Structure 1
Amino acid sequence: MFERLSRSWALVKASAAVLKQDRQLLVFPLISALATVVLVAAFALPVFGLGWLDGLTHGQGNGAPAAAYGLGFLFYVSLYFIIFFFNAALIGAALIRFDGGSPTVGDGLRIANSKFGQILGYAVIAATVGMVLRMIQERVGFIGRLIVGLLGVGWTLATFLVVPVLVSRDVGPVDAVKESAGILKKTWGENVVGQSGIGVVFTVLHFVVVIAGVALVMAALSSGSGLAFALALLLTLAAVALTALVQTALTGIYAAALYRYAATGQIGQGFDGQALQQAFAPKR
């Protein structure tokens, strides 16, 4: 247990060292988050304003359910495309750093744009899988929902390295999914979550930030100052957002290094070879 936590923290620090050299990598998850907000706002009108959400939930209305499912699929595709596109930009920039270069935001965006078609194709695949799993989950009991949830986890693990594959190789989304699943199956599929560590570390960090933020907001509220309350709330939200941005950036950097090591045996700049080998250790 303690060895796993120690290794997790070492990998987080290695990813953070890369991010420290290229702080502009935070721009990619920031743009992704802002684009997601715009996307949600764009889809909010037909979903809520036209009452399609009620039709989707209750199966009522003149053609609303079919239209709602179609809109939902389009939303999923758009959302996944935004996430994958800027993740590809982040990973592309990180790979430049691993090769000894000095990446810029423009470099990352150019790499992602060069894979536009593949990323869109992968977004369609991911949206299809997500919609199918959700539709099944809505029609089964508790045990069925549990099984579907496990299938969702399996899909997440199998596709963990799809974006690095798309960025690094001239392959389509289907082949990228197969390659990602193959790497996980041969190496560390069962242990990817526990041994990557970034999720564990940032779960703790998010908890600390939220608790500290709540305490700060409560203290400001008890002071009776509206300005102090507003500042405390904004500071808390900013801290939560910054933590999420850093986590997203570190996860992308780590995924890039992990794929690079799995595919070529080369270690990214700032990463410890032994730690990466342990991350790829098969389950015992």
Structure 2
Amino acid sequence: MSFGTRSGRPGFFDRAKTGWALTKDSAGVIRDHPNLLVFPLIAGVASAAFLVVLFVPMLIANLIGSGLEYVALFVVYFATTFVSTYAAAALVHATNEAFHGREPNVIASLKTVRSRLGPIVVWSLISATISVVLKTMEDSDNPIAGILRSLFAVGWSIMTFFIVPVIVFEDVSVTSMFSKSASAFRDTWGETLGAGFGITLVVTLVGIVLAIGAIAVSVPVAAVFPGPGILLALLLLGGVIAFAYLLSQTIWGVAKTALYVYAVEGHRPAEFDNFDFETLGGRTEESASPGTAGSRDTLDL
């Protein structure tokens, strides 16, 4: 890990600084286009619906055992991964529309992503399989299996961090899907970590402010009507948690899209004046090439 810039490349703290700028500019995009928050909302609601529908089959499978519980888990993992990936892909497309001066439309983006249905299904199948494998390792009494699971889970998260932008922007095979995602993370790891710190800070601050507001509204009500006041507080705090989740997921989607737009087009989105893409030193351009459809055609879905 490099903490300096003697090699001519940005060090960790330089990358963290640009990652923070990436977070602020991503939040600015959401401020200008709040409908982007709808995509993680769709993913969350759809995933919750699948869990409700599949709850009884999962319960029965757990009672029967004999490995059937893992089959049920696979179905759950596949369904939730599919809907979350589909919504995330639509978010990436809508964000790219905003970057190119077009007003993002939720319905249009959801329809456009249908063309990427094949890669999304393949990714969902692979992800569900890996999740089941990790679950079996977690259930194992072997301590070595637990260590291997933790190491593999970290590596898997890194390798698939940019999987959604890859699916949206490039025509790739199954193997290149993962290699391009891992390559993008390797070449932007500092900015990604910096953005992670920034997103955590921004979402935490927003959540604290909203939570204080929720309590301020609920306390006077609870003083007069204790039951309804407590219920109101719980509902408002639940809303704060949900909004914080939507905000963090949307910021991540916007940030990943910004990095990939620059990688494929070499073009700085106008919304990211505070982010110095030049500090990437061409690293993303070297690692992320457009798919067979061509960079402009692939981006302007």
Deviation at 1:3, TM superposition (A): 6.7
Provide Cα deviations, 1:62-81, integer angstroms capped at 9, x if missing partner: xx332211111111111100
Equivalent-residue separation in structure 2 for 1:11 and 1:248 (angstroms): 14
Identity of aligned residues (%): 28
> 1:58: which partner in 2?
none
Aligned length: 271
> 1:15: which partner in 2?
26
With 5-14 and 214-223 compared, the bigger mean Cα shift is at 214-223
> 2:250: which partner in 1?
249
Asked whether the equivalents of residues 213 and 236 of structure 1 are also in contact (C-alpha less than 8 Å), the reply is: no
1:30 to 34, 41, 45: 41
1:39 to 50, 55, 65: 50
> 1:188: which partner in 2?
188
Deviation at 1:205, TM superposition (A): 3.3
Q: For 2:66, what is the secondary structure of its paired residue?
A: helix
Asked whether the equivalents of residues 4 and 195 of structure 1 are also in contact (C-alpha less than 8 Å), the reply is: no
* Residues 248, 195 of structure 1: alpha-carbon distance in 2 compared, 3 angstrom cutoff: closer
Do structure 1's residue 133 and structure 2's residue 134 form an aligned pair? yes
* Residues 280, 150 of structure 1: alpha-carbon distance in 2 compared, 3 angstrom cutoff: farther
Deviation at 1:144, TM superposition (A): 3.9
Asked whether the equivalents of residues 219 and 229 of structure 2 are also in contact (C-alpha less than 8 Å), the reply is: no
> 2:241: which partner in 1?
240
Equivalent-residue separation in structure 2 for 1:265 and 1:178 (angstroms): 20
Provide Cα deviations, 1:170-224, integer angstroms capped at 9, x if missing partner: 2244322121112223x13476334543443256337636964895567765655
* Residues 280, 42 of structure 1: alpha-carbon distance in 2 compared, 3 angstrom cutoff: farther
Equivalent-residue separation in structure 1 for 2:275 and 2:248 (angstroms): 23
TM-score scaled by length of structure 1: 0.82
Equivalent-residue separation in structure 1 for 2:202 and 2:275 (angstroms): 22
> 1:178: which partner in 2?
179
Asked whether the equivalents of residues 133 and 148 of structure 1 are also in contact (C-alpha less than 8 Å), the reply is: yes
* Residues 158, 280 of structure 1: alpha-carbon distance in 2 compared, 3 angstrom cutoff: farther
Equivalent-residue separation in structure 1 for 2:183 and 2:13 (angstroms): 29
Computed over aligned residues only, the root mean square deviation of the Cα atoms, in angstroms, reads 2.9
Deviation at 1:226, TM superposition (A): 1.9
Asked whether the equivalents of residues 88 and 112 of structure 1 are also in contact (C-alpha less than 8 Å), the reply is: yes
Equivalent-residue separation in structure 1 for 2:113 and 2:67 (angstroms): 33
* Residues 74, 213 of structure 1: alpha-carbon distance in 2 compared, 3 angstrom cutoff: farther
Aligned AA (1:84)? T
Asked whether the equivalents of residues 94 and 109 of structure 2 are also in contact (C-alpha less than 8 Å), the reply is: yes
Provide Cα deviations, 1:34-63, integer angstroms capped at 9, x if missing partner: 101101101111122x2x33x4xxxxx4xx
* Residues 221, 35 of structure 1: alpha-carbon distance in 2 compared, 3 angstrom cutoff: same
Extract unaligned runs of 5+ from structure 2: 1-11, 284-301
Deviation at 1:107, TM superposition (A): 2.2
Equivalent-residue separation in structure 2 for 1:194 and 1:13 (angstroms): 11
Provide Cα deviations, 1:119-170, integer angstroms capped at 9, x if missing partner: 0111111111111122123225445423422321221111111111111122
Asked whether the equivalents of residues 89 and 112 of structure 1 are also in contact (C-alpha less than 8 Å), the reply is: yes
Q: Matches of residues 97-136 of structure 1 in structure 2 within 5 Å?
A: 97-136=98-137
> 2:89: which partner in 1?
88
Extract unaligned runs of 5+ from structure 1: 56-60
Equivalent-residue separation in structure 2 for 1:150 and 1:280 (angstroms): 30
Equivalent-residue separation in structure 2 for 1:213 and 1:46 (angstroms): 41
With 124-133 and 173-182 compared, the bigger mean Cα shift is at 173-182
* Residues 6, 274 of structure 1: alpha-carbon distance in 2 compared, 3 angstrom cutoff: closer
